[in-house]
Structure 1
Amino acid sequence: MQLLDTFDWITISIYFAVLIGIAVWVIKKKNSNTEDYFLAGRNVGWFVVGASIFASNIGSEHVVGLAGAGAGNKLPMLIYEIQAWVVLILGWVFLPFYARSGVFTMPEFLEKRFDARSRWVLSVFSIIAYVLTKISVTIYAGGVVVAALLGIDFWTGALGTVILTGIYTVLGGMRAVVYTETLQAIILVIGAAALTFIGLDKVGGWESMADTVGPEYLNMWRPMNDPNFPWLPLLIASTITGIWYWCTDQYIVQRTLTAKNIKEGRRGTIFGALLKLLPVFLFLVPGIIALTLKMRGELNWDSPDEAFPVLMSNLLPSGLRGLVAAGLLAALMSSLASVFNSCSTLFTVDIYKKLRPNTPEKKLVRTGQFATGIIVIIGIIWIPIMANISGVLYEYLQSVQSYIAPPITAVFLLGIFSKRINATGAFITLVTGLIVAALRIVLELIKESLNPDGVLYYIGHMNFLYFASWFFLFCVILIVVVSFLSPAPSKEKVENLTYQTITEEEKRNNKVSYSWIDILVSILIIVIVIGVMMFFNGA
């Protein structure tokens, strides 16, 4: 690893100066009510919405991990990175219902469609899940990246980024988050693109790289008897997780709710989907380049997760290296800012306001700021715990999403596609689903001490992709059976909140909210996704 030099530090300093300038400009604007603070006044354009979706998704652990997948023979995981078509589902299928309902949060939407019980289950679970997974994993990975790039110790790197991100998120709210994320997305794309082009030139082009690693290495589709990534369960499980993450999770959906109207929100998701095609080329390919150079004896690293930082520090010229370092810092900060703001929104709107419905708007904003501050502190307290967690468990945290997603995906999907699905079905499915998810996690941790011939061992040992696929089917059957065995929901619980009950006026409003350009670009994105899937087939 080469440390950053003077020109690199000048580049990083300019980046932070611009970032602070944007944050100060945003903070000076009013955050007088909850709509201003949590949804940027619902006045954001499509470009900022799309850039914010992309920047929220790409964290430092994402960049490092995806390059690590490219360098560590885990190419099937690429399927989670070409889910641009799922982002389109958010804009075309889900967003009109969210926007029409006027909600701030996803649990709030569940209350409108079902009842308060579902709202409470999703609110409390989401906050706990964010603190234990998203915040902790991002801070841990960020501390490692910052320490490696800047030559400082882990604690200084982690604390510095958490505190700086926390300050502008607390003071500026959602507007500060989405505008700083736009800058961060641009920096990240420019920096990583430069590394990909320089890296491909260094290895002698794509053909030369493919010859070194072998064509089979570039195959993301494994046979059904593959113990780790059988292709069909991989396709099903990744789609279920994708719909949960991109279409129902507060962390992502909150960005689209900041848009001026449905048209801008949908265009934001289309732009976000377009950007989502980039990680394959910006982060996965550099990992394969790093492996190629290692196989040729031109580069050395111990763990696949070191591939991106080592490649960056050895290949990029002075100044440009600083830009990519700034991009990695940007990725860390944007992910942290997003999850901080999402947590404070969930706490303030779904818990505090529900318990104290007559609270003035200004006090709700102050409560949101206070909640963000508390979450920042919890994140800092969590750092030493994450620092002691092994790499195996860090990877394991990524698969937890496969257990969380099925019940939530089933409730949201069937909730908007069928007016017969009722509150009892949704509540029982969410509670049962979360109990099963917790049981699977515990059984996976203790499976070595279980009887190999027992049912519990089978559940804990089953491939996580198979488990997620069957678990989703179980949740769908459960919600349908319970709903049909209990009374149908009332008219106000379904009107304009399901496809079967959209009024003619809303249908007309929806038709004027998109043009042939939106349809054409969406089709183009789907064609590119299919093209990438066919390209990485080892042929």
Structure 2
Amino acid sequence: MNHLQLIDVLVLVGYFSAVLGVAWWAFLKNKNESEGYFLAGRDMGWIAVGTSLFMSNIGSEHLVGLSGTGAASGLAVGHFEWLAALILLLLGWVFVPFYLRSGVFTMPEFLGRRYNSACQTYFTAISVIGYVLTKISVSLYAGGIIIQEATGIDLWLSAGAIVIFTGLYTVVGGLRAVVYTDILQTVVLFVGSFVLVGAGLDAVGGWSELVHKAPEGFFSMWKSASHPEFPWTGILFGAPILGIWYWCTDQCIVQRTLSAKNLGHARGGTIFAGYLKILPVFLFILPGIIARVLYSDMDASSSDKALPRLVMNLLSPGMKGFFLAALLSALMSSLSAVFNSCSTLITWDVFRKWKPDASEATLVSVGRWTTGLLAVCGLLWIPLMKYISSQIYIYLQSVQGYIAPPIAACFLLGLFISRINGTGAVASLAVGFILGFSRLVLELINGPQKDGLAPGTFWELFAEVNFLHFAAALFVVCSVVLWGVSLLTPAPELAQIEGLTWAHRGKGGSVKETETQSRHRLNEFLSVALVLLILGLWFWFR
């Protein structure tokens, strides 16, 4: 992989040309309408919605990270992938009908309607800051490393090229370009991954040999409650909280369902994405286990090298270029999703409040300029990243886990309990932020060697408790605050919660809320089948 040949370069050039062609087609379709730019005209079918949901979640750091963790500890990390399949059903059957009925463009806008403008402002700020500091920087860092190892080009120059190219096609085509390039990129990613897994299994001697030679417990997903990374208690009680926040309330994800033609296609897209989420365990985690078996010198400390090492040693010329295109597909897909979602948040929740009478063309123009600005921010962040240690880099990722519980509580309880009000939501978000930020600070103080805090103290326990257990506990605390403060303050007016809670959801009836009887039955059948399939896989790899 360190020396690409001419055929590899030609494959990459062909791929990039195809992506730009799709973006230009999307530009011609948008016609300077805000719905076309930010929500792809709200006319996406279930295949486009499903593949875009999947690819928005899969970045190059996701591939490298999953294979690395697979090499270090086996299939257990796959819990997050299969749990996501079930959470996607929750998105399609519970959350999406409310989102479509409200006609919102953004998740902070929905939170603002359900509670108040303070909640909307908080969620907007947290989302944008979190995107820039974690998702954009992490994607660029991983992508830069991939290109550097493949071509020898400087990491920061590589990351800069990625920002410019991804920002260009996102600026030009908006969400329509993001969604349709996701379809292309899903195909490229799956083909490349299937080829790599096939080559790896052939080198090992087949599936049975892989299971036999892998370290003990690598194919057992359910770990003890004391496991440092994936305790079964954390998987059952903490991981779903993070999943609800990410899959059901995150702008980057939910925006794909808002682009659907109607409820039937939105729901079908979430179900299709759920089936796609079964595959990462076999396509992205399995290569890490294969590398652990093939290379005796590989251990947990060098596990992140699993994927590039397999590619370098097993793939032939041409396929190396194709797999590099697959990795870049994942990177650019997640990065473009963040760019578009951030521009939607800033344009819709900030600029439109300032200029409520802005024309459609103005909103699209602001969205494009905002995307460009975010790309510049990414470029400016690149030289600073080299001064951040890998441990800080990991901590930045965990920020998402610390802000998820209060947001998940406000969305989930807000849908099902009409009595909850804006005052309770603000209090819950504030308490959640303080506790989550405190955990992050104490974790930093304790340091990578875990010797910065006095042993045996409450502060050390607070900093070192498994992050999934922490998320579950924080969700309970935030829910109690949300419910308690709401009971002590006036109930919300009926007009404010009409159509936004389960008890006052109404029957709907708009075009966006329609779902034919045949499609509804098909979606029900496929949903039940998906649940049974996930339960069967969990039992098989217990």
- Which band: TM-score by shorter chain? over 0.9
Q: Counterparts in 2 of 1:16-415, with a 5 A limit?
A: 16-73=16-73, 75-82=75-82, 83-295=84-296, 303-415=302-414
- 1:8–1:323 CA contact under 8 A, matched in 2: yes
Change over 3 Å in CA distance of 1:426–1:152 after alignment to 2: same
Q: Secondary structure at the match of 2:153?
A: coil
Change over 3 Å in CA distance of 1:507–1:336 after alignment to 2: closer
Q: Secondary structure at the match of 1:310?
A: helix
For 1:352 and 1:389, the matched residues in 2 are separated by: 33
Letter in structure 2 aligned against 1:483: S
Question: C-alpha deviations, 1:7-61, integer Å up to 9, x for none?
Answer: 2222222211211211111122334222111111111111111111111110000
Gaps of 5+ in 2: none
How big is the shift at 1:148? 1.2
Q: Paired residue for 2:483?
A: 480
- 2:30–2:41 CA contact under 8 A, matched in 1: no
For 2:25 and 2:515, the matched residues in 1 are separated by: 36
Change over 3 Å in CA distance of 1:454–1:507 after alignment to 2: farther
How big is the shift at 1:151? 2.8
Q: Paired residue for 1:422?
A: 421
How big is the shift at 1:507? 12
Q: Secondary structure at the match of 2:419?
A: coil
Change over 3 Å in CA distance of 1:300–1:427 after alignment to 2: closer
How big is the shift at 1:155? 1.9
Higher mean C-alpha displacement, 237-246 vs 24-33: 24-33
Percent identity over paired residues: 47
Q: Paired residue for 2:539?
A: 534
Letter in structure 2 aligned against 1:29: K
- 2:71–2:300 CA contact under 8 A, matched in 1: no
How big is the shift at 1:303? 2.2
Q: Secondary structure at the match of 2:444?
A: helix
For 1:180 and 1:394, the matched residues in 2 are separated by: 29
Question: C-alpha deviations, 1:219-246, integer Å up to 9, x for none?
Answer: 2222123344321123211111011000
For 1:313 and 1:51, the matched residues in 2 are separated by: 28
Letter in structure 2 aligned against 1:158: A
Q: Secondary structure at the match of 1:222?
A: coil
Higher mean C-alpha displacement, 436-445 vs 222-231: 222-231
Query: Aligned match of 2:458 in 444, 447, 455?
Result: 455
Change over 3 Å in CA distance of 1:379–1:504 after alignment to 2: closer
Determine whether 1:467 maps to 2:470: yes
Determine whether 1:493 maps to 2:492: no
For 1:354 and 1:195, the matched residues in 2 are separated by: 49
Question: C-alpha deviations, 1:354-384, integer Å up to 9, x for none?
Answer: 1221222211211111111111111111112
Change over 3 Å in CA distance of 1:183–1:137 after alignment to 2: same
- 1:121–1:431 CA contact under 8 A, matched in 2: no
Determine whether 1:3 maps to 2:6: no
For 1:76 and 1:393, the matched residues in 2 are separated by: 24
Query: Aligned match of 1:519 in 505, 515, 524?
Result: 524
- 1:31–1:365 CA contact under 8 A, matched in 2: no
For 2:216 and 2:20, the matched residues in 1 are separated by: 46
- 1:3–1:313 CA contact under 8 A, matched in 2: no
For 1:196 and 1:131, the matched residues in 2 are separated by: 33
Letter in structure 2 aligned against 1:37: Y
- 2:2–2:152 CA contact under 8 A, matched in 1: no
- 2:50–2:272 CA contact under 8 A, matched in 1: yes
Letter in structure 2 aligned against 1:58: I
Q: Secondary structure at the match of 2:73?
A: coil
For 1:345 and 1:431, the matched residues in 2 are separated by: 25
How big is the shift at 1:122? 0.4
How big is the shift at 1:516? 2.1
How big is the shift at 1:85? 0.9
- 2:108–2:349 CA contact under 8 A, matched in 1: yes
Letter in structure 1 aligned against 2:343: S
Change over 3 Å in CA distance of 1:90–1:387 after alignment to 2: same
- 2:88–2:270 CA contact under 8 A, matched in 1: yes
Higher mean C-alpha displacement, 196-205 vs 161-170: 196-205
Letter in structure 2 aligned against 1:481: G
- 1:107–1:119 CA contact under 8 A, matched in 2: yes
For 2:214 and 2:234, the matched residues in 1 are separated by: 26
What is the RMSD computed on CA atoms of the aligned residues?
2.0
How big is the shift at 1:404? 1.2
Q: Secondary structure at the match of 2:264?
A: helix
Question: C-alpha deviations, 1:263-287, integer Å up to 9, x for none?
Answer: 1111111111111111111100011
Change over 3 Å in CA distance of 1:301–1:112 after alignment to 2: closer
For 1:507 and 1:355, the matched residues in 2 are separated by: 29
For 1:505 and 1:137, the matched residues in 2 are separated by: 41
Higher mean C-alpha displacement, 526-535 vs 81-90: 526-535
Letter in structure 2 aligned against 1:127: V
How big is the shift at 1:205? 1.1
Question: C-alpha deviations, 1:39-96, integer Å up to 9, x for none?
Answer: 1111111111111111111000000000001111264322112121111111111000
After TM superposition, the score normalised by the length of structure 1 is: 0.95
- 1:301–1:307 CA contact under 8 A, matched in 2: no
How big is the shift at 1:211? 1.2
For 1:487 and 1:378, the matched residues in 2 are separated by: 43
After TM superposition, the score normalised by the length of structure 2 is: 0.95
- 2:131–2:342 CA contact under 8 A, matched in 1: yes
Question: C-alpha deviations, 1:141-169, integer Å up to 9, x for none?
Answer: 11111211233221221111110001111
Question: C-alpha deviations, 1:320-350, integer Å up to 9, x for none?
Answer: 2221110101111111100011111101100
For 2:300 and 2:27, the matched residues in 1 are separated by: 42
How big is the shift at 1:446? 0.8
- 2:70–2:288 CA contact under 8 A, matched in 1: yes
